[in-house]
Amino acid sequence: MKYYKVAILNKNLEPLTYHFDKNVSIYSIVEVVLKNKLHKGVIIKEVEKPIFKTAEISTVLEEKLSKMQISLANFISYYYISKIGISFNLFTPYKNKNDQNINFKLKPNLSPNQQKGYEFIKNNQISLLFGDTGSGKSEIYISLLVDILNKGKQALFLMPEISLTPQMEKRLKKYFGDHIGVWHSKITKSEKEKLLKDFENGDIKLIAGARSALFLPFTNLGLIIVDEEHDDSYKSSQNPRYNAKDLALYIAKKLDSKIVLGSATPSLSSFVKHPSFRLKGTYFSSQKTIDYDISETKITPKILQELKNTLSNKNQAIVFLPTRANFKYMICKECKTIVTCPYCSVGMSFHKSKNALVCHYCGFSMYAKTNCEKCGNEVLESKRMGTSEVVSQLQSYFPSANIAKFDRDEITTQKKLINILSDFNDGKIDILVGTQMLSKGHDYHNVKLAVVMGIDAGLSYADYKAREKTLSLAIQIAGRSGRTGKGKILLQTEQADFFKDYIENYDKFLKEEKYYRDGLYPPFTRLLRILISHKNEKKAEESMQICLNNLKKIEDIEMIGYGKAAIEYISSKYRYEILIRANSHKPLIKAGNICDTTNVQIDMDPISFS
C-alpha cells in the first residue's frame, strides 16, 4: 500500500493523507472523498504510513498539469501565502498534448518608429512598450506573435478585462484565423471545452484573454504580451490575491520566454524596473485639443454645448463617470447624514429605474423613499451623479440622439458587450456614457469628443498610487477621442492645475512621481496588507492585536499603520487592517505566514486600500 499527501482543490486546508494500492505519479490529479463528498485533488508527495487510519484514493484521473502550471502553483502558494489546494484550483489541466506547426504569412506593415520598437523588444527578454494611445502598439504585438508562432511555439496575449476582447479578437483573427482561442469568465462551458480540445491538439497556438488565461496548460510558451499593463484588473481580489502581470513576469523568467508589457500610461513600477521603448505620436493622422470645465461633477452648459456641436457634425461622443447608478449616495437635507447600508459602512447608491437604494458592496437593496435614521427627516438629497443619471439628463436635452450606457449594470453578458460595441462602431449610438470600462483601449474612429466627469474623487483616495491611477485614467479616456482626424477632450475638474501639468506629458509625471515615492513606496519598497474581518467586532480587534504581537518577532519590517479599515464594516463583518513595509519580500512572507489564521486575508503587493 502507498500513502500520499493530497491537496484538495479549492479547500483552504493543509494536504491530507490518503492511500492507494498502486504507484501514482506526483502531481497526478485524483478524486478523493472528504466529508462524504467527492473532491478533486493533486498528489503533492508520497509519505510513510501514518499512525492514523486513512481513506483510499477513489480514482486516478487522466488529467495532467504541465510543468509550468506546477511551478506556478507552488510559487503562488509560497509568495501569496495561500494553501496549495487553493492555488492549484486556479489551473485548467489537460488530457493529451499534440503539437503541430502552422505557418502564418500575413504581417503588419510597420512604420520606421514601430520597427525600432519591434527591434528593441526582440533584443530584450523583458520589455516595456510605452506607447501613446493610437501609436500602433498592436501592430508591434502582432509582428512579434507571428515570429514566435512561426517557430512552433505558443503565445499568450493578456488583456485586463473582457471588454477589450471582442475588438482585439477581430484584429487578431485577421492574422491568425481560427488558430487563436479567446478565454475569459463569460464564455460558455461548451466553448471552453472546444477551445481546450483545439489547444491540446495544436490547432490553437495563441490564447488571448483575461487573467485566468494565464492558468491554461501551456507546454511550449514562447511569448507573453501583457496589454494595458498598468491596469488594476490584473490583481485578484480573492484568495489567492495574485497579480497576473507579476506572475507572467515570473513565468517568462522561469521559462526564458519573451515578455512585453504595453501601455500608454505604464505603472511607475514597470517603468523603473524594466527596459522601455518610447513610442510617441499616433499611427493615424490625429489632432487633439484639451479644454477644461472648472466645475464640480454635473451637466454644465459647457458640456451640453460641446455635445451639441459634436452631434450636429454627425460625430460621436463618449462621456466618462466613475460612478454607476443615478447617484452615489443620498444625504439628509436637515442633518447631512448619509443613508448607509445596514450591513456595510458605505452609502447606498440610488437606482431610479428600480426606485431603490442599492449597496454596491453586499447587494442589499431597499425602497428609495426612506426617512433619515438620525433625525427622521423625509427630505433626502442625491449626491455624486452616476452614469444612469447622466444618460437620463442627456436624453432630456437631446431627445433625438441615441444615448447608451456602458457599465457593469448594463453589460451583464458577453453578448451584450459585443452588441453595444458593434452598435457604437456602426454609428447606431451617438453618445456612449460609461464607467472605467470606456477607458480600456477601444478603438473608435468616429469619436470626436471625450467628456471626463467625476475624475477628482480619485485624487483624494488614501492610496500611494492615487495620482498615478487618476492621471492614467484621464489619459486613457482622452485617448478614445480623435483616433483619426480632429478630436476634443473636455475635462471637468476643480483640480485643473494637476491635469494641465501632466495630461500631455506622462513622461514628466513618471519622473516626478519617482522622486516622491523613493524610499517610501513601491517600486522602491514592498508592501503587505493584512485584513482581519469578523462578525464580532471585539474578536476582530483581538485578532489584530495577536497579529501585532506576533509581528514583533519579525526583523526588517516597518509598521506603516494599523486599526479600523477605511471601510470598517462590509457584509456584516467588522474589518481591521495592518499595513507593513519592507525592502524585500522575504520578511513580508514571514509576516504573512505568522498572521495567516482564520478570519485573516493576506494581500501581498496590495493595490487597493479600502
The per-residue pLDDT for range 397-417, each reduced to its tens digit, is 999 999 999 988 888 777 888
The percent of residues in the chain predicted with pLDDT above 90, rounded, is 73
Residue 596: is its pLDDT beyond 60? yes
Q: Provide the pLDDT for residue 52.
A: 94
Asked if 440 and 475 count as a contact pair (C-beta separation under 8 A), the reply is: no
Helix (H, G, I), strand (E, B) or coil at 392: helix
Residues 184 and 254 in one domain: yes
The rounded distance, in Å, linking the Cα atoms of 388 and 405 is 7
Is 359 annotated as contributing to ligand binding?
yes
* Domain boundary, last residue among 364, 385, 406: 385
Q: Do 379 and 394 belong together in one domain? A: no
Domain closes at, from 88, 123, 140 = 88
166 shares a domain with 23: no
Residue 228: CA atoms inside 13 Å, Cβ hemisphere, count?
30
Domain shared by 121 and 231, yes or no: yes
The mean-pLDDT minimum among 296-305, 424-433, 478-487 falls in 478-487
pLDDT grade for 325, boundaries at 50, 70 and 90: confident
* Whole-angstrom distance, CA of residue 390 vs CA of residue 396: 10
Residue 447 lies in a domain: yes
C-alpha to C-alpha distance for 156 and 21, rounded to whole angstroms: 40
Q: Evaluate whether residue 105 is within a structural domain.
A: no
Q: Is the pLDDT of residue 284 over 60?
A: no
CATH assignment at residue 35: 3.40.1440
Q: Is residue 149 assigned to a domain?
A: yes
What does the CA dihedral 107, 112, 117, 121 come to, rounded to 10 degrees?
Answer: 60
Same-domain pairing of 424 and 547 = no
- Per-residue confidence (pLDDT) for residue 165, from 0 to 100: 62
Alpha helices in 89-222 (DSSP H): 112-122, 137-149, 165-176, 189-200
- Asked whether residue 222 is assigned to any structural domain, the reply reads yes
Are 125 and 136 contained in the same domain?
Answer: yes
**What distance in Å separates the CA atoms of residue 329 and residue 348, rounded to the nearest whole number?**
5
pLDDT at 179: 94
Q: Which of 304, 318, 300, 303 is closest to 449 using CA atoms?
A: 318
Q: Which of 145-149, 241-245, 279-283 has the lowest mean pLDDT?
A: 279-283
Residue 103 lies in a domain: no
- Please indicate if the annotation marks 332 as binding a ligand: yes
Residues 455 and 419 in one domain: yes
* φ/ψ of residue 139, rounded to 5: -65, -35
Task: Please tell me whether residues 136 and 258 are part of one structural domain.
Answer: yes
The residue written with cell numbers 492585536 in the block is 545
Residue 102 resides in a domain: no
* 547 annotated ligand-binding residue: no
> Nearest-CA neighbor of 260 among 151, 124, 97?
124
Query: In whole angstroms, what is the distance from residue 543 CA to residue 535 CA?
Result: 12
132/152 same-domain check? yes
Largest Cα–Cα distance of the chain, in whole Å? 82
* 246 and 304 assigned to the same domain: no
Pairwise CA distance, residues 456 & 441, whole Å: 22
Domain assignment of residue 309, yes or no: yes
Q: Does 270 lie in the same domain as 127? A: yes
Overall average pLDDT of the 572-585 stretch: 96
Residue 595 annotated in ligand binding: no
- Residues belonging to the chain: 610
Q: How confident is the model at residue 481 (pLDDT cuts 50, 70, 90)?
A: confident
pLDDT (tens digit per residue) in 114-125: 999 999 999 999
The Cα 57–Cα 468 span in angstroms is 51
Tally of structural domains, the chain: 5
Q: Which of 218-227, 330-339, 579-588 has the lowest average pLDDT? A: 330-339
Cβ atoms within 10 A of the Cβ of 609, count? 18
Residue 89, C-alpha cell as written in the block: 484550483
341 is in an annotated binding site: yes
Q: Is this prediction's pTM over 0.85? A: yes
340 domain residue, yes or no: yes
- Check: CB of residue 455 under 8 Å from CB of residue 461: no
> Residue 368 carries which side chain, given as an amino acid letter?
A
Query: Which of 471, 491, 517 lies at the terminal end of a domain, its last residue?
Result: 517
178 has pLDDT over 70:
yes
Residue 524: pLDDT band by 50, 70, 90 thresholds?
very high
Residue pair 221/255 in contact by the 8 Å Cβ criterion: yes
Residue 204: name the closest of 108, 97, 308 by CA: 97
Same-domain check for residues 356 and 420 = no
Cell 427627516, located at residue: 377
* CATH for 394: 3.40.50.300
* Mean pLDDT, all residues of the chain: 92
Domain that holds residue 366: 327-385
Please, are residues 543 and 519 in contact by the beta-carbon 8 Å criterion?
A: no
Paired residues of 131 in beta bridges: 279
Instruction: Identify the bridge partners of residue 127 per DSSP, sorted by sequence position.
Output: 260
**Which of 205-209, 359-363, 438-442, 559-563 is predicted with the least confidence, judged by mean pLDDT?**
438-442
